[in-house]
Structure 1
């Protein structure tokens, strides 16, 4: 069960990182920082709540 949780957490991190890279092409830097920070906080909350 622990391996499944680690894989899920790694998947969320990869999706958040890939989404951040994708957004760099479309958003100005200041807005990008806010969006990426919110995505990381949301990913952390999801991992914490569903653990």
Structure 2
């Protein structure tokens, strides 16, 4: 997974799965808890607040 495969925003988000079932690519929506967990994970990398809004703008 590449960082460019993640589209995270304050109210919605998605991630691109490049090799899913049958080696088909698809886009998976991210719910609120997944966006919060992803923001907490990416926060040290971007050195910003661990909020979805801060990570999305970084």
Range of TM-score over shorter length? 0.3 to 0.5
Q: Which has the higher contact order (CA 8 A, sep 6+)?
A: 1
Q: TM-score, length-normalised on structure 1?
A: 0.35
- By percentage of residues, which structure has more strand? 2
- By percentage of residues, which structure has more helix? 1
